[in-house]
Amino acid sequence: MISTSLLGIAFILLGLALLVAPVLGRYIAPEDIPSWLLYVYRRGNFYFVTSPILILLSVLLFLIHAFRFV
């Protein structure tokens, strides 16, 4: 149970870091960061920043949880 709590805290901290990423993207060139670590989509004044690693971890944990009860 404690490992699940630690994983939740890690996801919260990672989410906060990704919330700050678009602001930092205006001052730091996001093209210098590898795309597997941070993906930035720009269109005009719209910025969308995500982490492919976070998406893969979320899908993996969802699948593990979904098939645990089957």
Give per-residue pLDDT as tens, 10-44: 889 888 887 887 787 777 776 777 888 888 888 89
Collect all residues with Cβ–Cβ distance below 8 Å to 53 and sequence separation of at least 6: 36, 37
Q: How far apart are CA 28 and CA 19, in angstroms?
A: 15
Main-chain dihedrals φ then ψ at residue 8, nearest 5 degrees: -65, -45
How many domains does one find in the chain?
Answer: 1
pLDDT at position 1 over 60: no
C-beta of residue 25 within 8 angstroms of C-beta of residue 49:
yes
Give the percent of the chain with pLDDT over 90: 6
Query: Beta partners for 39?
Result: 50
Q: Regarding predicted confidence, which is higher, 30 or 63?
A: 63
Q: Which domain holds residue 25?
A: 2-68
